[in-house]
Structure 1
Amino acid sequence: MQSKYNRLTTQQWEYMELFLPKKTRGHYKLRDIVDAILWQLRTGTQWRNLPDSFPKWQSVYYYFRKWQKDGTQERLNIELNKMERNRQGKEPTPSLLSIDSQSIKSGPFTSMSKGVDGNKKVNGRKRHVITDTLGLVWGVVVGAANEADGVVANKVVEPLLGYLDRMEKIVADHAYKTIFKRWAEENVIGLEVKISSTPPSTKGFVPLKWRWVTERTFGIFNFFRRLDKDYEKTKESQESWVLWQNCQIILNRIR
């Protein structure tokens, strides 16, 4: 993991440029806009404190929101995932995935979509994330921390059905064994939900096959200041930052 944010290299930008719009509003370069977004992801500072070496914060925020709303961010994440899987000798899309959630505390100005997770004793939001066996994020839904995992899981999986044609099995813990498993059996032909949980008598962290990869992804979030706590007014912005983090991890592997 990099100790500080470094600007995009030419090779990294060439990969990103393939999947981003060709034009920008105003005179700013698209590369500088993306650099500013990734800098925000790493440092977690307020938009208005963006250094003068980057474009004006209003322009950067404009593209951050625009790409979030028009699907550009999601398409970028999908294509970079496919590229990374090809690089590691795998099929472009996964057949096995793991789904889990992470409750996080909210910042002082966060009021929408917020609740208390009674099990984790966390007042804030919950990130529902699905990853492949490499730990790459394919889907994320953010909601109040008191929302049950099994109830939200179908919202994470349903958007993937259009382009993950190889998806055969999803590994999950016992929180998904009723509502979500029943939804998958009734709505998705050939999709198996395998419940894998730590025995009740076990103490401490026990890595479970494939599910530990998602837990590792949650751990990596902590290296990005924008994700170690939820500072966003909207849950959609938090979802977008999770995808930007996944893109940044993939770009860091490009040499």
Structure 2
Amino acid sequence: MTDRRPYPSDLSNARWALIEPTLTAWRQERTARALAFGRPPEHDLRDLLDAILYVDRTGIPWRYLPHDYPPWETVYAYFARWQKEGVFDQLNGLLRRLVRTAEGRDPEPSACIVDSQSVKTSTNVPTSTQGPDVGKRIVGRKRNIVTDTMGLLLVVLVTAASVQDGTAGRQLLTRVAAEHPTVCKAWADMGYKNAVVEHGAALGIDVEIVRRDPATRGFVIQPRRWVVERTFGWLMNHRRLARDYEALPARSEAMVHVAMIGLMTRRLTGETTPTWRGT
């Protein structure tokens, strides 16, 4: 880490210690393959990740990165490379298992919750990757996520907001069954009934639809589903996720992973998360 004044989003030494082995191993592998064709890397991995966390937390455009970080072109290139090579997904899985173990849970979950969130997009997002969510009156994209019963991310899928929950739900369950074979139970809302329930049964996952009591009025906490709603609340503390700014859906998914990486490292080290409330 370079000698500079830290930002609130920067990793502490304890948080960096959780991530450093994975990124160092990634760099060593790439350096071994690339040294014969190019120059060795010159930027510190911690500074690069701190810059990505800064963008995710503050919501600024890449070009507006403070000058005491590495050049924005370099930071974005690493962000894109780590997304493409699954580094963020790998870190998310590693940290999730550590959090679950620290809480006295099994490293791998046996149950999950499915839900979606529609968000507006910025002007740079291609129209081919967005659409209207008629029910919520939003034109943009939809974040479909699966969490464990602690609210930790298992799978994320970003689609156009016009894609029905049932269609995305089947894709999510297919990935859950492949990546988390210990999961045998799932909860979801009414948007995932019928086809998703049947698809889950074919995969060996019992999908239970959480129904709202028609006699209730106003906001009422729904059993099990409140966990995934809380996760969306955690994500919305990151201004980059208040709207979808990424040109590619895969980069949007990476931004969700980055937010969860920041959250879980703080959870493991017992550090508080600064929020924008009251500032």
Equivalenced residues, count:
250
Do structure 1's residue 183 and structure 2's residue 199 form an aligned pair? Answer: yes
Q: SS at the partner of 2:129?
A: coil
Q: What is the correspondence of 1:1-255 to structure 2 with a 5 Å cutoff?
A: 5-20=8-23, 21-23=26-28, 26-111=41-126, 112-186=128-202, 188-189=203-204, 191-253=205-267, 254-255=269-270
Matched to 1:248, the amino acid is G
Deviation per CA, 1:37-92: give whole Å up to 9, x if none. 00111011111111111111111111111111111111111111001101111000
Q: What 5-or-longer segments of structure 1 have no aligned partner? A: none
Specify the code of the residue in structure 2 equivalent to 1:110.
V
Q: 1:73 is matched by which residue type in structure 2? A: F
Distance change in 2, residues 1:221/1:162 (3 Å): same
Larger Rg: 2
Runs of 4+ more than 4 Å apart: none
User: Given that residues 105 and 123 in structure 1 are in contact (C-alpha distance below 8 angstroms), is that contact kept between their aligned partners in structure 2?
Assistant: yes
Contact 2:129 2:160 in 1 (8 A): yes
Q: Which has the higher helix share?
A: 2
Larger deviation: 109-118 or 42-51?
A: 109-118
TM-score normalised to structure 2 length: 0.86
Residue 119 of structure 2: SS of its match in structure 1? strand
SS in 2 for 1:65: helix
TM-superposed deviation, 1:219: 1.4
Structure 2 gaps, min length 5: 1-6, 32-39, 271-279
Task: Give % identity.
Answer: 36
Distance 2:178 2:195 in 1: 22
**Do the aligned partners of 2:9 and 2:57 also contact (CA within 8 Å) in 1?**
no
Q: CA deviation at 1:110?
A: 1.5
Q: 1:54 to 1:123 in 2, by over 3 A?
A: same
For 2:141, what is the secondary structure of its paired residue?
strand
TM-superposed CA distance for 1:158, in Å, is 2.0
d(CA) in 1 for partners of 2:217 and 2:253? 32
